[in-house]
Amino acid sequence: MKSKGSVLLSALCCLYIPAIQAGDANVFQDEARVVRVDPILETVNLPVTRQVCEHIEVGKQAPAAAIGEDIRRSERRHRRSCRFVEEMHYQERVTSYRVTYRYAGHTVTSRLPYDPGESMPVNVSLIPKN
């Protein structure tokens, strides 16, 4: 059985990290098994504009038809008054994922902008131990 120090797994990273230089024989691509994915939530404030309307009763006094009559009758009218109101709504959004994956006996946790599923591609670099 080989010791853990015989081959050092120096870089185990995701594809969105800068690509490997072509021609490096010690670097290859493989698949790692994803063992856990946790969404990272962030609360964001979203301004929402909505229209608020109300009915206002407007009274208008009209003189009675008979001359000399002191009694006045009221005519009631309704007017609709609307205005725009901006409110803040709080919403939780998934901004990234904490992904734990396993490759060659090593467990690594990284933060990714997507859920990789059951497995994910990784870049592997092997460097001899000095």
Task: Determine, yes or no, domain membership for 129.
Answer: no
Task: Determine, yes or no, domain membership for 12.
Answer: no
Of 54, 41, 32, the C-alpha closest to 100 is 32
124: tokens are 């592997």
Per-position pLDDT tens, the chain of length 130? 333 333 333 333 333 334 444 456 789 999 999 999 999 999 989 899 999 999 887 765 555 555 554 555 556 677 888 999 999 999 999 999 999 999 999 999 999 999 999 999 999 988 888 7
Question: Which domain covers residue 111, as residue numbers?
Answer: 31-123
Task: Determine, yes or no, domain membership for 1.
Answer: no
Contact between 17 and 125 under an 8 Å Cβ cutoff? The reply is: no
Task: Determine, yes or no, domain membership for 73.
Answer: yes
Task: Determine, yes or no, domain membership for 91.
Answer: yes
Rounded CA Rg of the chain:
35
Tally of domains within the chain: 1
Phi/psi for 62 (5° steps) reads -120, 135
Task: Determine, yes or no, domain membership for 24.
Answer: no
Task: Determine, yes or no, domain membership for 6.
Answer: no
- Alpha-carbon distances of 11 from 16, 19, 22, 29, rounded to whole Å: 14, 12, 16, 11
